[in-house]
Structure 1
Amino acid sequence: MTDICFLPATELAAAMSTGELSSREVTQAFLDQIDRVNPQINAVVTLAADSALAAADAADVRRTQGDSLPVLHGMPMLHKDTHATAGIRTTSGSPLLADNVPDTDELLIERLHTAGAISMGKTNVPEFAAGSHTFNPVFGTTYNPYGLTKTVGGSSGGAAASLATGMTALADGSDMGGSLRNPAAFCNVVGLRPTTGRVPSEPGAFGHFSLSVQGPMARSVEDVALLLSAMAGPDLRAPATLDEPGASFARIEPMEPGTLRIAISADFGGLTPVEAQIAAAINKAGETFASLGADVHPAMLDLSGANEAFLIRRGWQFAANFGPLLDAHPGGLKDSIVWNVERGRELSGADLARAMALTAELYQRTREFFTEYDALLLPTTQVSPFDTAMEYPTQINGQPLATYLEWMRSCSDISATGAPAISMPAGFTDDGLPIGLQIVTQYRAEKKLLQIARLFETATRYAETRPPVC
């Protein structure tokens, strides 16, 4: 049964569509793996075993009736605890929502159910998904399966750890400043931040202007593509979505690497410090692409103003989203959320106008950069997984960091561009902790991004190294 848990989602989907495996058999295998592994890492925080098995039985009946089957038919999966799931507790890791059970699914979950997915439960997050270290006062800390004293990152940390340990083959997440990519890097899995608008999100208070996107996580690029095919596509409830149908992402077409022109910056252009072992792994990734025949050049996207634009837009969103909650519950939110709200409340209209202007300039520079290069290789994270006793790193390579967000700039500056980016397993530190390679491409070029990521995955096979707890 454990072998089932580590089969690619693409193979599980094919086996369930033909009846080689039943949905009940697959769902039970994952539930058993959760029972066995989760006590060690605390990644799954709410379980819906009975309803999942009932849904699996219904999926098995549907298959025998000759109906046309959706892409994720009978596929059990876990959802991030910030995503509203009807009848399943959704807490966002906050005591204020500890008993919250939504009446309806949000749009992402609705889409996944339409695609045939079965909800097994929820994965742990930082409180209100703030920060890239998964701990909260409701469920506690999630521990890294590659080193049980280390963080899984965040905010989709429980999702990443669940994937790494075979407790699910697919997981959803969201990403404002790195929440799909950072935990993927820390847990040796794949996390894709799509182009802004690729995956429709509703409810969403910021419509066209949101920094946050939703996206897929899995153990392989093909599985990420499969999940993206169910998530993506237009929906009029979300004002900024792109028109291309999700089904177009289900298959990754072969690519000739000799046609690729790739930029690489292992030190993130010197904008912020990067640990030496991580920079070395990124340089090695560049050598891998060169060995495949790609034309690899040291080059860096001009990210001038990206950090300022990100911090202003983030503060603005936090003040709007959590300011009323902070006023109603003084002392009810963690310090980092309070800090973000306070920064947002200090902003003026002129500040917001400057952030929008900086974002527009950044968009054009990014677009122009990717007319010359097919992809940019960067570190996903500036640090390796740190001790869970730390809330966040305060220095890198002996250089003090100004804020709790500074160690995440390798992701957050890319978020400010709105371009698609994927984190890929790229090796391990000397003490066996995962390292992530971030690959960025042109706007709306997720197909090319997945092709390039698949080339690297096939050439290196880092993702096949399972954590010790398995």
Structure 2
Amino acid sequence: MTDIGLRSTVEQADLIQRGELSSRELTEHFIERIERLDGEINSVVTRDFETALAESDAADASQQKGQSLGVLHGVPITVKDALQTKNLKSTGGATELRDNVPSQDAAVVASIRRQGGIVMGKTNLPRWSGDIQAYNDIFGTTNNPWDISRGPGGSSGGAAAAVAMGFTSFEIGTDIGGSIRFPAAFNGVWGHKPSFGVIPTTGYLDHIDGGLNEADINVFGPIARSAQDLELLLTVMKRNSPPWVAELEAAPEDLKDLKIGAWLDDEFCPIDDEVREQLEKAVDALEKDGISVDRSARPELDPDEAAMLGLWLVQRAISQSTDSDGPGHRIWLDQHVRREELKLKWAQFFDTYDAVIMPVCFVPPFEHQQQGDFGSRTLICNGEKRNYIDVVKWTTMVGMAYLPSTVPPIGLGASGMPIGCQVVGPYGGDRLTIALAGRIGDLMGGYQPPPRAL
């Protein structure tokens, strides 16, 4: 893979640090790719190339003086438009914020900048990050780089499409019901949903007055072209200052010492044959690599109950800042108790298993669906109509329990579309899930650019 724009963040940053590539050269390269290739994808919807070039020149001047700005010195990126970016339009995909220009960065964006990162622009999303696709009334529709008749997943769909196309070094996504995991899987890139609370989420625009508080379940995390990128970016992005500092368990020294579960299908949300085939191939590859996998492993919970409770909690988290007529305190407490019981069952499962491999979505990337609400839409799975809301069943039961989940690309399905899985671990086991997902992805071919990116 010779195109520098398609290489990993780790490689790009190393080339800049060693003086073999200037920040300006990399920034100009991304700008050229965006201007030439993004017309049919529509992923980078707000652009600030002039400022990015000025900052890249400043980074190069520092480099010439022997001064490093950090591990991301001079690395240009784009940011999902759900995050506040100082002096750069930040809309949340909502017309109410069409002209909103924040005076400060989201905390995680500030962390990226402190390590030398340069923000070139913002990527597309659904209104208030509220769909598994990426379209809104300001910027229109983002298309999947592998097939523009299909969506890129959501809500961080523009982010993952930009990473897949080589428009940015990496991206910052958000995930409350699968919004990092769906796009990573649908675009053939890597994504990490961290344990809840590990990365600060202030500066998140999910309603008109958003940005000040941190919503339940919601997390920010990296989307990139390698597992090594996820590991680096987790370190950069995690909380490192009072009142709360994130301490994560170290990655295992030998993956062959792990006991892994594989929960690849279930009658509560049956998986499309195309997805199931790739999941089976990924597990087969792990076993051939000498890693123990138990295909009968299941947490002792009712998956329907867990998924529906997860959906209820996600809906409450999304509406908590704007819905004055939400559930009463007693109802919320009852649901919270149920959630704590399910979290305990997950914890008991991880007393026996180190991680579990699960589907992200029951179908491969699907064609654009923008008519009607969630309840009225349907998807086709193995020739049968299924409710659109089923897409979140495999993701919400993980998110509501605050667990880390890493998505590696595991190849193309029979339709020629990317498929991913999620590697889920115990709370705080982020480095473990990244390491295991890294091995799975490597065995299955890793990131492969879509033909449009070449």
Q: TM-score, normalised by structure 2?
A: 0.91
AA aligned to 2:102 is P
Q: Give the counterpart of 1:428 among 402, 409, 412.
A: 412
CA distance in 1, matches of 2:52, 2:216: 32
**Quick check: 1:255–1:451 contact (8 Å CA) kept in 2?**
no
Partner of 1:381: 361
**Quick check: 2:177–2:311 contact (8 Å CA) kept in 1?**
no
Question: Where is the helix percentage greater, Structure 1 or Structure 2?
Answer: 1
Q: Residues 379-429 of structure 1: CA distance to partner in whole angstroms, max 9, x if unpaired?
A: 111111111145565143455545x43222111111111110011111212
**Quick check: 1:260–1:295 contact (8 Å CA) kept in 2?**
yes
Partner of 2:293: 296
Partner of 2:247: 244
CA distance in 2, matches of 1:406, 1:221: 28
The answer on 1:366 being equivalent to 2:351 is no
Q: Give the counterpart of 1:351 among 324, 327, 331.
A: 331
Q: Residues 256-288 of structure 1: CA distance to partner in whole angstroms, max 9, x if unpaired?
A: 332121111111x32212211111211111111
Evaluate the alpha carbon distance shift between residue 254 and residue 366 of structure 1 in structure 2; reply closer, same or farther with a 3 A threshold.
Answer: closer
Partner of 1:222: 228
CA distance in 1, matches of 2:195, 2:79: 21
CA distance in 2, matches of 1:462, 1:21: 24
Partner of 2:258: 260
CA distance in 1, matches of 2:395, 2:451: 24
In the TM superposition, 1:312-323 aligns within 5 A as 312-323=312-323
Evaluate the alpha carbon distance shift between residue 148 and residue 400 of structure 1 in structure 2; reply closer, same or farther with a 3 A threshold.
Answer: closer
Which stretch has the larger CA shift, 443-452 or 41-50? 443-452
SS state at 2:60 partner: helix
The answer on 1:285 being equivalent to 2:282 is yes
The answer on 1:95 being equivalent to 2:98 is no
SS state at 1:53 partner: helix
SS state at 1:144 partner: coil
Q: Give the counterpart of 1:448 among 429, 432, 454.
A: 432
**Quick check: 1:308–1:355 contact (8 Å CA) kept in 2?**
no
In the TM superposition, 1:131-142 aligns within 5 A as 131-142=131-142
Q: Residues 232-262 of structure 1: CA distance to partner in whole angstroms, max 9, x if unpaired?
A: 13333xx6x54328xx98xxx6843321211
In the TM superposition, 1:63-462 aligns within 5 A as 63-203=63-203, 207=214, 210-236=216-242, 241-244=244-247, 255-267=253-265, 269-298=266-295, 299-304=297-302, 305-323=305-323, 345=325, 347-390=327-370, 394-395=378-379, 396-397=381-382, 401=386, 404-462=388-446
**Quick check: 2:411–2:445 contact (8 Å CA) kept in 1?**
no
CA distance in 2, matches of 1:29, 1:127: 30
Which stretch has the larger CA shift, 414-423 or 451-460? 451-460
SS state at 2:308 partner: helix
SS state at 1:153 partner: coil
SS state at 1:382 partner: coil
Partner of 2:208: none
AA aligned to 1:350 is R
Evaluate the alpha carbon distance shift between residue 57 and residue 445 of structure 1 in structure 2; reply closer, same or farther with a 3 A threshold.
Answer: same
Q: Size of the alignment, in residue pairs?
A: 439
Shift of 1:375: 1.3
Structure 2's unaligned 5+ residue stretches are 204-210
AA aligned to 2:298 is M
SS state at 1:468 partner: helix
AA aligned to 2:331 is D
AA aligned to 2:392 is M
CA distance in 1, matches of 2:390, 2:406: 20
CA distance in 1, matches of 2:301, 2:317: 21
AA aligned to 1:373 is Y
Shift of 1:142: 0.4
**Quick check: 1:126–1:154 contact (8 Å CA) kept in 2?**
yes
CA distance in 2, matches of 1:146, 1:231: 29
The percent of aligned pairs where both chains have the same amino acid is: 33
AA aligned to 1:44 is V
CA distance in 1, matches of 2:239, 2:369: 41
SS state at 2:400 partner: helix
**Quick check: 2:163–2:225 contact (8 Å CA) kept in 1?**
yes
**Quick check: 2:202–2:213 contact (8 Å CA) kept in 1?**
no
**Quick check: 2:408–2:420 contact (8 Å CA) kept in 1?**
yes
Q: Residues 179-198 of structure 1: CA distance to partner in whole angstroms, max 9, x if unpaired?
A: 00000000000110000111
**Quick check: 1:211–1:415 contact (8 Å CA) kept in 2?**
yes
Evaluate the alpha carbon distance shift between residue 100 and residue 132 of structure 1 in structure 2; reply closer, same or farther with a 3 A threshold.
Answer: same
Evaluate the alpha carbon distance shift between residue 389 and residue 365 of structure 1 in structure 2; reply closer, same or farther with a 3 A threshold.
Answer: closer
**Quick check: 1:312–1:347 contact (8 Å CA) kept in 2?**
no
Q: Residues 74-102 of structure 1: CA distance to partner in whole angstroms, max 9, x if unpaired?
A: 00000000100011111111111111111
Q: TM-score, normalised by structure 1?
A: 0.88
CA distance in 2, matches of 1:15, 1:469: 22
AA aligned to 2:77 is M
CA distance in 2, matches of 1:218, 1:371: 30
CA distance in 2, matches of 1:13, 1:198: 24
Shift of 1:205: 5.8
In the TM superposition, 1:4-15 aligns within 5 A as 4-15=4-15
Evaluate the alpha carbon distance shift between residue 363 and residue 389 of structure 1 in structure 2; reply closer, same or farther with a 3 A threshold.
Answer: closer
Q: Residues 181-235 of structure 1: CA distance to partner in whole angstroms, max 9, x if unpaired?
A: 000000000110000111112246664x611000111011011112112101333
CA-based RMSD of the aligned residues comes to: 2.1
Evaluate the alpha carbon distance shift between residue 210 and residue 196 of structure 1 in structure 2; reply closer, same or farther with a 3 A threshold.
Answer: same
Evaluate the alpha carbon distance shift between residue 254 and residue 468 of structure 1 in structure 2; reply closer, same or farther with a 3 A threshold.
Answer: farther
CA distance in 1, matches of 2:341, 2:68: 47
AA aligned to 1:214 is F
Evaluate the alpha carbon distance shift between residue 98 and residue 2 of structure 1 in structure 2; reply closer, same or farther with a 3 A threshold.
Answer: farther
**Quick check: 1:421–1:440 contact (8 Å CA) kept in 2?**
yes
**Quick check: 1:363–1:417 contact (8 Å CA) kept in 2?**
yes
AA aligned to 2:232 is L
Partner of 2:206: none
Q: Residues 353-372 of structure 1: CA distance to partner in whole angstroms, max 9, x if unpaired?
A: 12211121121111111121
